[in-house]
Structure 1
């Protein structure tokens, strides 16, 4: 049988594990920093796009208000109440004419 004598120092193994952990920590912290930068960039982009949308909405409201308020005042000739009463009178007279012209039906 082959027998090999291997001498391992415990402090050497602990040192290698510590160095590997530190390298892994540096690698992962670099990844996290890169992702945080991307998140910050996307947040800034979203804020700027929302600000642009709000500005466009303000401009739209200003244009709508500008076109809704006429520069020349318009005075209505009839009010809404007069129109309703005029329509109701015509309906009653029309019904009376129709009922008066039809022959009565008896059973």
Structure 2
């Protein structure tokens, strides 16, 4: 009887462990980033706002702002140049909600 109970317990534990798959880690993407209005031609709203371009489509960004990454109107700023960034986030509606953002240095 103990052997049957022990075997049954092993089987149940084995199925329980197999059913729990690890959660997938979010993937880092390399994207173009700039001012949506000045560089990406987005005219949905006035002023200057941070945007990313993914697969040729531009999205305004939620989770970080244009001025969080230096002077937007400097020579290498977002209103003057298209930069590269590593990001983690997701597209929700017509916006990109970022949870990780790392601006990459310009190549000289």
Bigger strand share: 2
Q: TM-score w.r.t. structure 1 length?
A: 0.30
Bigger RCO of structures 1 and 2 (CA < 8 A, at least 6 apart): 2
Bigger helix share: 1
Rg comparison, structure with higher value:
1
